[in-house]
Structure 1
Amino acid sequence: MTRGFSESAFGHAITAAGVTHSVARACAAGRLYNCSCGMVRGKRAWKWSGCHDNTKFGARYSRRFLDVRERAKDVISFTHLYNNEVGRKVVRRNREVRCKCHGMSGSCEVRTCWKAAPDFRRVGDMLKEKYTRAMSAAVEVFGNSANTARKYRPVRREISPDSPLLFVERSPTYCERDTRLAVVGTTGRYCNRNSTGPDSCDTLCCGRGYDQRHEVVNRKCQCRFKWCCEVTCKDCFEEKWVSVCK
């Protein structure tokens, strides 16, 4: 998270989005004493009812909680602050209208509607898409001169949900061990030989192949709750074949 890789950009963005989302929902649910329901702008706001998720307060809290650590005016700090704000904007600008019907026998004679923060799975998908299209900060913002970052701070109004994530350093392959970058590599990683997704042996093992190994796994089973308040379990041993990257 302290480096300028595109993975760091995604990590900062989704962390900021997560804080914004959680605080906004907590405000609407009345779980926080210092905030309340969110507001909806516009002449037709009087038609709204229910309690809107307070994404404005959530974003403000996220800035106070996360951005305060980024004081140094260098290109790394700039991109961290920028990516934080992209994550918040994705939550704030993608609020959804949700409604609840009231009436006899399930009829919808009266309907209560409110603005809710998007499902966080959707937020994650949008940020994942931005991760795949991340751009170099030096080219996108500073015109190939990273030193000019010392003159800039991210301007919130210029960042939109459509803004890309920014990175400073090209990501390593993560396939081979690199102690300088704290990359452990994928040798010895468990993989799924029957998968075609990111956990597949073809993907994780980086073309090196994998070994099949027989292991005995200890797992908790037959758990019982004892009043009060203890859970006791037995140890069960399971034999299985696993795939491990070479």
Structure 2
Amino acid sequence: MDLSPQHTNGRQIHAYKGCSDNVHYGIAVSKEFLEAAERHKNHSHERKLMNEHNNRAGREVLISSLRRQCKCHGISGSCETQTCWDAVPSFREVGNIIKEKFDGATEVKVIRENRHARIERKNQMLKRHTPTDLVYLNESPDFCEPSEEQGILGTHGRTCNASLLAIDGCDLVRNYY
């Protein structure tokens, strides 16, 4: 634990490394948990690659979202000494970032070379995905139209309830108000 003071413009800033959220431990536990779960699922190799990529991207979102927070200490709020730490943003903030990534996800295919496999964008005209982008293998079905083979009842022609909290509310049934 480093408690040595650093001086900046006459102020002391303590670089204390003991009270930050233990994000890296949480990342390691979540990685182990998700990878173990993935090993025991009966998914195709392609789906496992996609899930591993997306899980890694989610962890990167959390790491890149860490914010430095500081608190001043001194007589009458003079900020003679400042204590700083890294803090995890709210669940909502992280969720909003991941939702944006979901909305901009890239469709990929799996390329096999020798004994290795990797994911590559399906449409070469689109931008290459990055390690922090979310990816998908198949287009989502059209949930508006019924599909017996996929077990989708569809919402086409259904009347929605104007109440925002109802299960048959317009925001849930048709994704608008």
Q: Settle same-fold status: TM greater than 0.5.
A: yes
Asked if residue 69 in structure 1 is aligned to residue 40 in structure 2, the reply is no
Identity of aligned residues (%): 34
Partner-residue secondary structure (3-state), 1:180: coil
**1:110 corresponds to:** 81
For 1:33-182, what aligned pairs fall within 5 Å after superposition?
47-49=14-16, 51-71=19-39, 74-138=45-109, 142=110, 145=111, 151-152=116-117, 160=131, 163-182=132-151
Deviations 1:107-145 (A, max 9, x none): 32221100112222221121111111111121xxx3xx5
Give the TM-score normalised by structure 1.
Answer: 0.49
Asked if residue 183 in structure 1 is aligned to residue 152 in structure 2, the reply is yes
Query: 2:66·2:89 contact (CA, 8 Å) conserved in 1?
Result: yes
Q: Aligned partner of 1:93: which letter? A: S
Query: How far off is 1:73 after superposition?
Result: 6.1
- Where do 5+ consecutive residues of structure 2 fail to align? 3-12, 120-129
Partner-residue secondary structure (3-state), 1:152: strand
Query: How far off is 1:105 after superposition?
Result: 3.2
Deviations 1:27-70 (A, max 9, x none): xxxxxxxxxx9x9xxxxxx9422611121111110011111122
Higher mean C-alpha deviation, range 62-71 or range 170-179: 170-179
Deviations 1:171-208 (A, max 9, x none): 112113334334343365744389xxxx984884489x
Aligned CA distance change for structure 1 residues 104 and 47 (closer, same or farther; 3 Å): closer
- Where do 5+ consecutive residues of structure 1 fail to align? 1-36, 40-45, 208-242
Task: State the distance in 2 between where 1:61 and 1:111 align.
Answer: 31
Pick the aligned partner of 1:192 from 150, 162, 169: 162
Give the TM-score normalised by structure 2.
Answer: 0.66
Task: State the distance in 2 between where 1:206 and 1:172 align.
Answer: 15
Task: State the distance in 2 between where 1:102 and 1:69 align.
Answer: 46
Query: 2:14·2:83 contact (CA, 8 Å) conserved in 1?
Result: no
**1:29 corresponds to:** none
Query: How far off is 1:99 after superposition?
Result: 1.0
Higher mean C-alpha deviation, range 66-75 or range 122-131: 66-75
Partner-residue secondary structure (3-state), 1:181: coil
Task: State the distance in 1 between where 2:175 and 2:95 align.
Answer: 26
Greater helix proportion: 1
Cα root mean square deviation, aligned: 3.8
